[in-house]
Structure 1
Amino acid sequence: MSLANPIMQLQISLGIPLDDRTGSLWSRKEKRKWFLSLLCGTCLVYATRTSIPLLMPIISKEKHWSKPESGIILSSFFWGYTLTQVISGYISDRIGGQKVLWISALGWSVTTFFMPEIIQSFSNDQTSVLLIAVIRMINGAFQGMHFPSMISLISQRLHEAERASFFSLLTSGSALGTLLTGSLGSYLLENYNWMTVFRILGGMSLAWTTLLSYHILPFKERTISTKSNTSYTLPWLKLLSKPPFWSCVIGHACQNNCFFVLLSWMPTYFHDVFPEVKIWVVNVIPWLSMLPCTFLGKVLSERIIKAGYSVTVTRKIIQTVCFVTEIGSLLFLTKVKSFQSAVLCLALIIGGSGFHNNAIAVNPSDLAPKHAGSVFGLMNTVGAIPGFLGVYFSGYILHMTHSWPVVFSLIAVIDTLGCVTYILFGSGQAII
């Protein structure tokens, strides 16, 4: 009689999921391969995401779109982004994150590559803005699948002790993607045209999607056990009744409000307050801080845990560093007069996101190790709400008050709410 069945039965009796068997975990070589691949993918996700904000002033002028029409197209991405977070995380936990990741990549790569044709085809019609917004929403829906499927894949293929640091380093790809758009995108825009930007970024994304398909092939046999796991269920009611989950969700939404508002309005701020500054400087320099801060947050987290502190204390300390840095910089930003001081403040705020990537962003793996994709998807769904509400209300406040300090002060207040909530109720222990 084979030893396989008794071992599997023992694992089930001990509550150890079959996906965590040694045979399903990545080897050291596979970790390196998947890390580089997923880092490139996260970079390209953000590069394509920020391409529309970069190109919108040029396209809207060429197509005679008004500010409200441009705003519809810009915000439509986040409507799609919120739609697929939970379901993609749930499906990833059930059938394997790598498959959902590939479907996601194919979707946002194709819609980015063919965006010039879409804009040109519909730009002369009265319903053009709505049709283009729908395509942009579809692009956001596919991108919304990326992070939940990625964190689910990591939870399925790495030991629990490795998951948080691995995922936090991957999130630094968001800064690399923004830098790619700010540098390469600005160069292509200056020397060619806006259509070339979509072509190059979309082409790079399609190339990465092809590479990803080759990575997935070796895992076909190993995902059979995941396919057959038809008994997979997520205890939603139990999850939703736990304060640590809601503190994670609220903290993530508050920090995302700061991140998304600055991502959307930073170029306008510099255009209004320091009009003499070149736009590529604004799109590149502040974002240079996120990568080193992500590494610093990772190192600090590991040292705090090695010093004997719990995961709960570690997550709270690192997230507090994020919030305090952002709040202090936002308040100082309300009073700055020089361009250098403004850039420093914004670099510190964006750098704070690097600490967030080592705390709340990885917290779903702590709270629900077996359901990380689903929990992250739900958390990120709420966290994406500032993408359309926070950005819109910031524009409304600017329209009514013409005051940037009011916007920055409001963001600081929201950050304070997130900080207090997470300190009081946050946890690094499994709740489901």
Structure 2
Amino acid sequence: MQMQIPLIQDEKTNSSWSRKERQKWFLSLLCGTCLIYATRTSVPLLMPIISKEKQWSKPDSGVILSSFFWGYTLTQVASGYISDRIGGQKILLISALGWSMTTFFMPGVIELVSKSDSSVLLVATVRMINGAFQGMHFPSMISLISQRMHETERASFFSLLTSGSALGTLLTGSLGSYLLENYNWVIVFQTLGGMSLAWTLLLSYHTLPIKEKTASIKSATNYTLPWLKLLKKPPFWSCVIGHACQNNCFFVLLSWMPMYFHDTFPEVKGWVVNMVPWLSMLPCTFFGKALSEKIIKAGYSITVTRKIIETICFLTEIISLLFLAKVETFQSAIICLAFIIGGSGFHNNAIAVNPSDLAPKHSGSVFGLMNTVGAIPGFLGVYFSGYILHVTRSWPVVFIFIAIIDALGCIIYLLFGSGQAII
């Protein structure tokens, strides 16, 4: 991270990753992002089976699914701020150890408390702890990138890493579905948790230097973030609100999509449902990156570029959600969901990288704050969707509700969004 003192600034420049280091960190962080999403989506995948076995209602399932995001919001700001001070790689390792272990031991927790009257709350608590550790991943990662890469390369590097979320969901949809159909839900948790623990050990052994470079140590005592100045800026709040609205769509579908297909098209194979729609996200992320670069090369500003790409995201999701509310066939539902999830790939090249535009020296802290508010739909939207289903028993009502929230986020970002540094 660039600091205010020229000497430290020079030292930070010297501590930038070499080409070989960039490649090593990219592969490592991509694997980590893949696994963090694989473990995150394991619960939505398994919830129809577990809830039936444990006789949990839709609201009970909603509590467990949404509890993840209660923890997810708690650690975003603090982890981003601390990462900016002491180094993102340290927080990244702590995060990985926490969410890997809680995933691996989740079956034991569920079996241990299943006979208790408060079993739902106890499982939700462990799920919340898992979310708290996962909440540290992205702020520490974007902080690390800001500390070790040139400013012009950060947004592109980070947007490509976010494609790991699609790979992780595909891993759950393919491997997770296979293990579920041929073994049981316990094996799914243990396999994904074991893979995550193995990656954590690899991260610790191969990519974390024992001795920190002096720039990281010196910068820790000089780091300050102008919070009040940041909070007074409309571009920051447009970024936050737009991110929250898009996350509402992403998190609700991420959590409830397996249940939707289980209720609406019970005859369909689980691996198709949990894998096929997510195939669209990776190419859309790369296409969004290429389109962003082309628009900028054509002479348009970063602000205009971010707004165009984010508008593509929102319009794609809104139109597809409205179609999804009316579909009657499995094939049509899969196509609509593929377009919706593909829209998230454009979001990864717009609002998701906007903190690096707005606050290049404080991107970890700003991303953490943005993602904290952005995670609120994770528990409110996911829980409220479960409540809507319980009351109306209507999936179209849920989809229309998501589309309205998306439209709100699109309008606000178009009005107040910016790609220029504000602090």
Shorter-chain TM-score tier: over 0.9
Structure 2 gaps, min length 5: none
The sequence identity of aligned pairs, in percent, is 82
Post-superposition offset of 1:407: 2.0
**Alpha-carbon distance in 1 for matches of 2:106, 2:218:** 35
1:68 aligns with 2:30: no
Q: Using a 3 Å threshold, how does the CA distance of structure 1 residues 229 and 418 change in structure 2: closer, same or farther?
A: same
> Which is greater in Rg?
1
Which residue number in structure 1 is paired with residue 238 of structure 2?
A: 247
Q: Which amino acid aligns with 1:325?
A: T
Residue in structure 1 matching 2:390, options 396, 399, 409: 399
**Alpha-carbon distance in 2 for matches of 1:54, 1:151:** 28
Does 70-79 or 297-306 show the bigger shift?
A: 70-79
Post-superposition offset of 1:228: 5.1
Q: Write the mapping of 1:48-87 to structure 2, written as runs, cut at 5 A.
A: 48-87=39-78
Q: Which runs of 4+ in 1 moved over 6 A?
A: 11-14
Which residue number in structure 2 is paired with residue 7 of structure 1?
A: none
Q: Using a 3 Å threshold, how does the CA distance of structure 1 residues 370 and 19 change in structure 2: closer, same or farther?
A: farther
1:211 aligns with 2:202: yes
Post-superposition offset of 1:277: 1.6
Q: Using a 3 Å threshold, how does the CA distance of structure 1 residues 173 and 225 change in structure 2: closer, same or farther?
A: closer
Measured against aligned partners, the alpha-carbon deviations of 1:225-270 in whole angstroms (never above 9, x if no partner) come to 3355312111110000000000000100010011111112222322
**Alpha-carbon distance in 2 for matches of 1:405, 1:124:** 35
Q: Using a 3 Å threshold, how does the CA distance of structure 1 residues 417 and 101 change in structure 2: closer, same or farther?
A: same
Q: Write the mapping of 1:280-299 to structure 2, written as runs, cut at 5 A.
A: 280-299=271-290
**Alpha-carbon distance in 1 for matches of 2:172, 2:66:** 19
What is the TM-score normalised by the length of structure 1?
Answer: 0.93
What is the TM-score normalised by the length of structure 2?
Answer: 0.95
1:325 aligns with 2:316: yes
Measured against aligned partners, the alpha-carbon deviations of 1:317-354 in whole angstroms (never above 9, x if no partner) come to 11111111111111222222322222111101100000
Which residue number in structure 1 is paired with residue 220 of structure 2?
A: 229
**Alpha-carbon distance in 2 for matches of 1:264, 1:221:** 39
**Alpha-carbon distance in 2 for matches of 1:134, 1:329:** 34
* Structure 1 contact 99–216 (Cα < 8 Å) conserved: no
Which residue number in structure 2 is paired with residue 146 of structure 1?
A: 137
Which residue number in structure 2 is paired with residue 105 of structure 1?
A: 96
Structure 1 gaps, min length 5: 1-10
Post-superposition offset of 1:43: 0.5
Does 241-250 or 386-395 show the bigger shift?
A: 386-395
**Alpha-carbon distance in 1 for matches of 2:3, 2:361:** 13
Q: Using a 3 Å threshold, how does the CA distance of structure 1 residues 79 and 330 change in structure 2: closer, same or farther?
A: same
Which residue number in structure 2 is paired with residue 315 of structure 1?
A: 306
Measured against aligned partners, the alpha-carbon deviations of 1:198-219 in whole angstroms (never above 9, x if no partner) come to 1111110011001111244337
Q: Using a 3 Å threshold, how does the CA distance of structure 1 residues 67 and 397 change in structure 2: closer, same or farther?
A: closer
Q: Which amino acid aligns with 1:402?
A: R
Q: Using a 3 Å threshold, how does the CA distance of structure 1 residues 123 and 400 change in structure 2: closer, same or farther?
A: closer
* Structure 2 contact 44–258 (Cα < 8 Å) conserved: no
* Structure 2 contact 63–383 (Cα < 8 Å) conserved: no
* Structure 2 contact 3–361 (Cα < 8 Å) conserved: no
Which residue number in structure 1 is paired with residue 178 of structure 2?
A: 187
2:268 aligned counterpart, secondary structure: coil
**Alpha-carbon distance in 1 for matches of 2:206, 2:191:** 23
Q: Using a 3 Å threshold, how does the CA distance of structure 1 residues 218 and 430 change in structure 2: closer, same or farther?
A: same
Q: Using a 3 Å threshold, how does the CA distance of structure 1 residues 65 and 331 change in structure 2: closer, same or farther?
A: closer
The total of aligned residue pairs comes to: 422
Q: Which amino acid aligns with 1:193?
A: N
1:385 aligns with 2:376: yes
